[in-house]
Amino acid sequence: MFLLSSTVPAWADAARTDLGALLADHLHCERKAVENALQLVRRYADRAGMVEALARLAHEETAHLVRMSALLEERGLPMRHDVGNRYAQLLRAEVRPGEPARLLDSLLTSAFIEARSHERLLLLGNAFAAAGDADAAGIYAALASAEERHFELFLELAREVAPAEADARAAELGAREAEIIASLPHGPRIH
């Protein structure tokens, strides 16, 4: 498995303590996923295959952003300001300068974010199902499936960029990702 640690099941209950905060945080995570994909498209415009794949990913993430906005509205919950994502900030701090290391690390950190999101959205889907919220359970199950595809895409792109180094670097970043996720408190947030 790509992730070196697992989220404790109690995280989902803690995350659901403030549904408005959770959904707003999730909306901002989707927005940042769009921005990340488009930033990579801008920065590496000369990599045609990667640009096309990331543009498609940005399109799908935009649909997720719209879905989360609609879910907030359906539930009568107000939009909240982005409070930042310490997990992503700490993980992205591991990106090395200089090319091609910067591209490889950017792709791998994106893969970790998507993999962790996949894991956590599955947990949320199960928690919503157990609470009898079939609508949210279905939404989160579908989103978890998409996050898994996104993780696989970023990992595949990383392996194309640096076939000899990608897996070793992923192992290094995986150890750091496990440390980061373990250091963060549980609350109404995706990460």
* Extents of the domains making up the chain: 10-183
Question: Which portions of the chain are predicted below pLDDT 50?
Answer: none
User: Residue 119 and residue 68: Cα distance in Å, rounded?
Assistant: 18
Q: Which two tokens stand for residue 58?
A: 């940005």
pTM metric for this prediction: 0.96
The reported pLDDT for the residue numbered 10 is 86
Residue located via tokens 């921005």 = 35
Which of 109, 34, 95, 96 has its CA nearest to residue 66?
34
The reported pLDDT for the residue numbered 1 is 59
CATH class entry, domain 10-183: mainly alpha
User: Residue 92 and residue 115: Cα distance in Å, rounded?
Assistant: 15
Contacts 24+ apart (CB under 8 A), 54-60: 54/157, 57/33, 57/150, 57/153, 58/33, 58/34, 60/146, 60/150
